[in-house]
Amino acid sequence: MQSQTIAFDVYGTLVDPLEMSRHLQMMVGDKAEVLSKLWREKQVEYAFRRGLMGRYEPFGVCTLQALNYAMEVLDVSLSTEQQGFLMAQYQQLQAYADVVPGIESLKAQGHYCVAFSNGPAAKVKELLGNAGVLELLDDVVSVDEISRYKPDPAVYLHLLKRTGSRAGNSWLISSNAWDVMGAKHAGLNAAWVQRSSAAVFDPWDIQPDRVVNTLQALALELSK
């Protein structure tokens, strides 16, 4: 395959936001896992809502508001200091084990690799730097640059413009089905990283071009 632009979603694809349950365990005990999942679900939902309403705020606002929602639903109380600690730990999420070798393989094939995130570029760079991934990437592209959120078609077109790429020569790589569907709708190629065997892709008339469970498997697929 000729050189392609490979754009990686960040949260859930390169790093695991549910890792936050480890820190929550110390604060809320056996409610940690449920709170972590609800926090993540609401974080994404709030970005969707703001996108539809045209009331853009940086992703950190969605993240903190989602945390406060999850706290209220589960009837737990976290101090301002504890919330600040959790937000700081969001910048310390670990990369999945397959990420570094997978990106290294894709780079060795000559592909142009970028992170493409709902998070502001500075925050994403800090996160990926801490996770040992940033140095492998050619660039970081953020929806914050146009104040829109995935899966708005405008953000995928922004990705193409920023990278100087054509839709047919570009791939969106994500573990989030809605992100894959958004990219396909905008005309890009897309691969779904099925991080869990229990994960189900939405039964729409939009399907991924590739389904893999690791980035190493993706590199192998794209080398054919």
Catalytic residue numbers read 9
Residue with tokens 């994960």: 199
Cβ–Cβ < 8 Å for 64, 83? yes
β-pairing verdict for 189-193 and 210-212: parallel
Phi, psi of 5 (to 5 degrees): -90, 120
Residue with tokens 């980035």: 215
CA distance 35 to 67: 8
Structure tokens at 86: 């959790």
**What's the maximum distance between 2 C-alpha atoms anywhere in the chain?**
53
Cβ–Cβ < 8 Å for 112, 3? yes
As a whole number of Å, the end-to-end CA separation of the chain is: 7
Residues 6 or more apart whose CB falls under 8 angstroms from that of 179 comprise 9, 150, 151, 172
Cβ–Cβ < 8 Å for 116, 141? yes
Residues 6 or more apart whose CB falls under 8 angstroms from that of 205 comprise none
